[in-house]
Structure 1
């Protein structure tokens, strides 16, 4: 990170952050406002952009104190996340407080004896009325061990070799869009598109193969940059990406997965077993990790720059609604694995296996017939992150279905010889000047490229619940579709957990055999009775597959379940004709023309 010498004047809004107590998981923050208002309000965000749920970060803020010089002032809480301080506007105002940091996700803040991490949405109070002024952040060692270093995408003003020191942001938005990683992490770097990229990894096991991770990530980045800036036509700037440098921050845990995009960095989490290893070949988990890296990196263009018009200015105090998450998350989900294929990290068959999962997941979600993908985008704040037993019956994923809407648009354009979705994305980038866009912009670009209106497709695929024409389009592009018997749980219309010899019902899918029999979420399926009269027999169920063992060829069984300590007998008709898809390459040249574009 860049370092300069000499004294730098403090920013009008300045934060001093230090690891105060590793074992109590506390950061200490001192906020200095050079020119406060007479009634200065400060507030902590309730959400973080990219994760559409109100998370109430203020719940972790404590010991807030205010002073001017030696005079203590009252910080009066105004609502759940904001405070007001009556002060002298001619003197600097200083606030000090602590933040409890024990959220080991990519969304908030973490601190213990092995690692520190924070998004400034969790630590830095927003100074109302001064959001657009320069903001400074000084990171001090505090209780951090001497071997800890710092990684962040925030521009450095003056830092030491560990990364401790002073950083500066143009405004509050930039400050909170650059998370910090602290610790004794592994680090590597490479260049892509003429731009320096750095990768830091916390929690790496001894078998970790950093050389492979860097090489594969570099191929992903180069492919994404070519996608957006082929020949520099999209930007007129010699094909350079929209950031001066980029940082990947990956936290490897025993069992984790997720990512969050930022303007010139991303925070990621994965399971250690999914990392590449020097002693064995990577498995499917590593492919999933590469897909996550591809997804978050693609977001640097699609949602961080090209973004919903409703996100032209974030409101950190409440929900920010948009119907376009199916485009920004869904289309990114379409391209994440597709760019792995174009980078040579997948072959056609492996790509189709990943696509197969997405298709079957949608087809096995009854909520696709209830909720449109535009509604799902708008309802993300109350539904997507609040999964319950009825979620699959009432909702559809704007990630999953959005990706398949992108697929349908891409293949429809290719079928008509009207270009591809690649052309649409680059044209949108240019039309919207890498900034706010609306659905009307997407429709206009589609019409310009194809010479026809796409309102019917959007009415059915985006704002309606009609089935997508997946079979027709895939077959036209050389993909064979094989129908095979579904797994037993799907045939029954159930989602279960199996542990310690118990079969617990988690979800009963709408319209399935289990619902018709009267199963309910929370039931424990204890056993079944088969036959009648003298041939009647009873069996204990230890796992779901035992059903086929004991039912034999019977089409009907009596299921015994426990619900609220009551034993119930449910008549279950076993369905015979529930199928799922398996995709394969039928016409290699047509598949490669699409996937290798």
Structure 2
């Protein structure tokens, strides 16, 4: 039987009144299909988290009926797919129980105080009707308030979307929450906070107001008329995810108050705000359109995530939300971490993008891999400095993203060749060799020389001490000295140690995890020690020659007497005045 779509709408209803056990009842009404089979799917991943997830496991008690209420036969054809048999054209009603307790995944969470609903984990869809209009009706306890980036429907606690893609990218927060609204430059904004904590909502709103106008430093306009910040103050869950015109940010409830904690929060808000352009408005090939049922491979996730990280504190600095010390401390930490990651010599940032879906963590990742966020940040930094130098400060990496937004708005997409075309067009230079050297191959930047161009010294503090090191990390919260990570080619690696070994004694004397660092201070760099350790329940012994490490990380400080050229480079790089920023920095210390 031939298949063709019928223009109508898909209606969803979810009952959230019995949330204590994280359960809800979901129903979906699909228009009449002219096919003899209706495919139903629940996504296998959610946008912003590039990994296949067991989303379909949250669906139980599936019932499928026709428009007369008669049961329709169906069979499961994949973990997130069902095929419904239709003997004749009919509308289809779907009902199922949903279990939602994935708060930390920012996918779905229902309890007696709220529900956070990312449609990827909640609402089945049919590919046949993916492009049709959608309504969502919530049935919630009496005191709850409902919020979303979607437009509100006519009934309370209801929303409407142009299609399933909009629904997927417009999560719903409903429950007992605080809400703050404001307008800025003709656009509407909202901050919704669920959970108690030591946050200062007044400060959050004030700084979010300062953040929004800084976007024009990179892009020509705004891809939204309304933007919603959703914040969860949690009992431990953390993380954030960008959406079409909203974001969800999670932090432990008492990790807002201290200055360092607040800067981390507002940096996350800036990161997700930037994603409204970089990822949501323009994104690489393979991610347009989203294939919700399988992974999509691209070599440019480092631009999607790493470049977003690169810009996030720049905008905060422009807005006066953070000072330069806070900006520099973050940058220095990133460089220090990079230089102490053996995997930087093994894997390129392009390859890290390609394997993000199967990325591993722990010892192997540390020694053989990089991640798209950290390495993508530094690739963006290196590319920015290369553009600034090659164009005599006439262009910067911001121009690349401005052009991507102009030329490749979704439903278009871009690839590496498109990025190179933009780069080559900035000032007539061919960037192919640079791209091959630093993007397709493991990067090797001279960060000290780079930052000196902008008037900064990258070095360890003058009071930093050189300490002996075994080149390994112990597992956190362990009483015994159980090895978690061994640096490739470091002292532990050369001594034959590996992850999972349990160190019992140093030079014949027993050692516990809590005493490990103090014991090492009794020795000097270059000393040879005897380690007794357990592997596969057997006692073993090795000789280890101690390496050196600094007791304090790298730091970035302004040079004493910056030249006119260094100040000009700084201002072209970050878009702020050297003298004004440094003066403000001194006043805030």
Question: Could you say if the C-alpha distance between residues 565 and 107 of structure 1 is closer, same or farther in structure 2, counting changes exceeding 3 Å?
Answer: same
Is 1:227 the counterpart of 2:203 in the alignment? no
Q: Residues of 1 paired with 2:554 and 2:223: CA distance?
A: 40
User: What's 2:149 paired with?
Assistant: 153
CA distance in 1, matches of 2:385, 2:69: 68
Shift of residue 330, structure 1, vs aligned partner: 0.9
Q: Give the aligned partner of residue 397 of structure 1.
A: 371
> Match for residue 42 of structure 1?
40
Q: 1:493: Cα distance to partner?
A: 2.0
SS in 2 for 1:189: strand
Match of 1:5 in 2: none
Deviations 1:353-405 (A, max 9, x none): 1001111111111111111100100100001xx42331111111111111111
Alignment deviations for residues 203-246 of structure 1 (CA, whole Å, 9 cap, x no partner)? 122x431100111111112212x2244xxxx3xxxx4x111201
Distance 1:553 1:153, change over 3 A: closer
Larger displacement relative to structure 2 (43-52 or 104-113): 104-113
> Could you list the per-position Cα deviations for residues 126-170 of structure 1 after superposition, in whole angstroms to 9, with x for gaps in the alignment?
2131111112222122xxx3211111111122132xxx13x2211
The Cα offsets for residues 29-65 of structure 1, whole Å up to 9 and x where unpaired, read as: 1111121332111011100111100002101110001
Residue 553 of structure 1: how far off its partner (Å): 7.2
Matched, 1:509 2:480: no
* d(CA) in 1 for partners of 2:234, 2:381: 33
Alignment partner, residue 463 of structure 1: 440
Query: What does residue 111 of structure 1 align with?
Result: 110
Q: Please say if 1:571 is aligned against 2:543.
A: yes
Distance 1:155 1:487, change over 3 A: farther
Provide Cα deviations, 1:497-527, integer angstroms capped at 9, x if missing partner. Answer: 3536432211112111111112111122222
Matching residue of 2:408: 432
2:587 counterpart residue number: none
TM-score relative to the length of structure 2 = 0.89
| Alignment-derived partner of residue 312 in structure 1 | 288
1:271 aligns with 2:252: yes
Q: 1:486 to 1:492 in 2, by over 3 A?
A: farther
> Please, which runs of 5 or more residues in structure 2 have no aligned partner?
1-6, 577-589
Give, in angstroms, the shift of residue 77 of structure 1. Answer: 1.2
The alpha carbon displacement at 1:474 in A equals 0.9
1:263/1:573 CA distance change after superposition, 3 Å: same
Q: CA deviation at 1:173?
A: 0.7
Among 176, 180, 194, the alignment partner of 1:188 is: 180
1:247 corresponds to 2:220: no
Residues 347 and 368, structure 2, Cα contact 8 Å, conserved in 1: yes
Contact 2:43-2:80 within 8 A present in 1 as well: yes
8 Å Cα contact 1:11-1:135 kept in structure 2: no
Larger mean Cα displacement after TM superposition, 372-381 or 477-486:
477-486
Residue 557 of structure 2 aligns to a residue in which SS? Answer: strand
Structure 1 residue 486 displacement after superposition: 8.1
Structure 1 residues 271 and 156 mapped into 2: Cα distance closer, same or farther (>3 Å)? same
CA distance in 2, matches of 1:118, 1:98: 14
1:169 maps to what in 2? Answer: 161
Residues 134 and 160, structure 2, Cα contact 8 Å, conserved in 1: yes
Query: Any conservation in 2 of the 1:251–1:269 contact (CA below 8 Å)?
Result: yes
Q: Does 1:493 align with 2:471?
A: yes
Within the candidate set 368, 387, 392, 2:361 is matched to 387
The Cα shift of 1:27 comes to 1.6
Q: List 4+ stretches of structure 1 deviating above 4 A.
A: 484-489, 577-580
Q: What are the residue-to-residue correspondences of 1:532-571 with 2, within 5 Å?
A: 538-541=509-512, 542-551=514-523, 555-571=527-543
1:134 to 2:126 alignment: no
Distance 2:229 2:105 in 1: 12
Does the alignment pair 1:585 with 2:562? no
- Deviation track 1:305-335 (CA, whole Å, cap 9, x = no partner) reads 1111222211111101111001111110100
Q: 1:149 touches 1:182 (CA, 8 Å); kept in 2?
A: yes
User: Residue by residue, what CA displacement relative to the aligned partner does 1:84-111 show, whole Å, maximum 9, x if unpaired?
Assistant: 1112543321110011101112531111
Instruction: Judge conservation of contact 1:106–1:269 (CA < 8 Å) in 2.
Output: no
SS across alignment from 2:230: strand
Distance 1:213 1:121 in 2: 29
Measured on the aligned residues, the alpha-carbon RMSD in Å equals: 2.2
Pair 1:379–1:193, CA change in 2 (3 A): farther
Count of matched residue positions in the alignment of Structure 1 and Structure 2: 555
SS in 2 for 1:311: coil
| SS in structure 1 of the partner of residue 363 of structure 2 | coil
- Bigger drift between 173-182 and 537-546 goes to 537-546
TM-score, normalised relative to structure 1: 0.88
Correspondence for 1:358: 334
Displacement of 1:272: 1.8
Q: CA deviation at 1:117?
A: 0.8
* Structure 1 portions without partners, runs of 5+: 1-9, 277-281, 530-536
Given that 2:116 and 2:173 are in contact with CA atoms closer than 8 Å, whether structure 1 keeps it comes out as yes
**In 1, Cα distance between the equivalents of 2:17 and 2:126?**
23
